[in-house]
Structure 1
Amino acid sequence: MENPVRDITNVIRQLTQGPPEIQSWAIDRYFTSDATFVHPFCRVWGKAGGRDGIKIIFQWYKIMSPEISLDVNSIAYDKEHLRLYVNISQVFSIWLVPFYRAPVTLTTVLDLTRDPGDGRPLPDANAQRYYIAKQEDLYQTSEFIKFVVPWGGSSLVMLWQTLATLFCLVGAYGYCAIARVLTLVFFPFSREGEPFGNMIKVGN
């Protein structure tokens, strides 16, 4: 890529929506030979041949969901650290599960480098070119569960999140109440001899 912000949308579409030969070509062109790939369900370590492992994952992804609807919502570029943040909405349909379509949102974090790592000549200062050294796909729990629990999975996650929030509220208020009671019992007076409840006054 010569301009990461401008080019990344087209790269993502080639990787996810292009035919197999375009997909393979795009991985060879844009990824380093030792690229890393991190996903909630799989990982390719950043070793020699990592790019070949990424090819296999994208091929299987294409087999499982031949037709993918995808929109790039936003792109942020950390130029200092050569890192792209891409927020994506996509509709994932698995041919093994008829009539099921999973609309999911994720943020893809791409670490870039100017070294392709496979002997290709480095671009000169006037012809900058960037390669993907690491791709990490970040899904909320309520999103990635749609891949494994087609119906009702997101509702279960939201129910769990609600219960966990209630537990936090009860725990926090309960702890504060117990702490206050214990403080009043064991330290009823301040150093000045005032009752503990009057020790701190608003405005003083």
Structure 2
Amino acid sequence: MREIVLDTETTGFDPLSGHRLVEIGCVELFNHLPTGEVFHRYLNPERDMPEEAFKVHGLSAEFLSDKPLFAEVVSDFMAFIADSVLVIHNAEFDMRFINAELARLGFQTLPMSRSIDTVAMARKRFPGAQANLDALCRRFDIDNTHRTHHGALLDAELLAEVYLQLIGGRQPGLELGVSKASGPAEGERRIERVARPARSFAPTEDEAQAHATFLGKLKNPIWLRD
């Protein structure tokens, strides 16, 4: 089974307001495991870079100015993802931007039905806990110390590891290798359980005597028959 873990970086939050893609990162999975095949492109958004977006991913308009346009990489991108399921953290956001770029070029858009949203998976499995990528990396003990900025390929690689844990580790369905057992993840309450002393079920002397008296009243009990 082939899946593509995908992440993007953008100039803002809404493609309908003129914001564009600036980076695409994809990691190929086969039977839920990375194959080593990736797709990674920086993109020239043909516009300025808002300061808020720059603080998130660190990609300046100057750095992106000599990078290819989405129109120049779209064929390679579509060939890489082919008809595979797309695993995305907050799928609606990335799919909206990708589809806006595809529609701008007259390509058929991608249906949401072919995406798996790992945010929804995490919230269903860990209600009330944080579901961002950093929090999930902490929960599953995945090293993300090199993540100083958001980056599409780096985040896709981390998400591939998170996704593997969300579906149950390397043996899906058996719940092997899940989150740390040392304590609750951030945002969860710790439940303290007080150990109770073991109960004694041995009868008292009075109870044993009462039982013997009761048995003595039985006529022809089965345990005394030959």
Q: TM-score range by the shorter chain?
A: under 0.3
Which one scores higher on RCO, CA 8 angstroms, separation ≥ 6?
2
TM-score by length of 2: 0.24
Which structure's CA Rg is the greater one? 2
Q: TM-score, normalised by structure 1?
A: 0.26
Higher strand share: 1
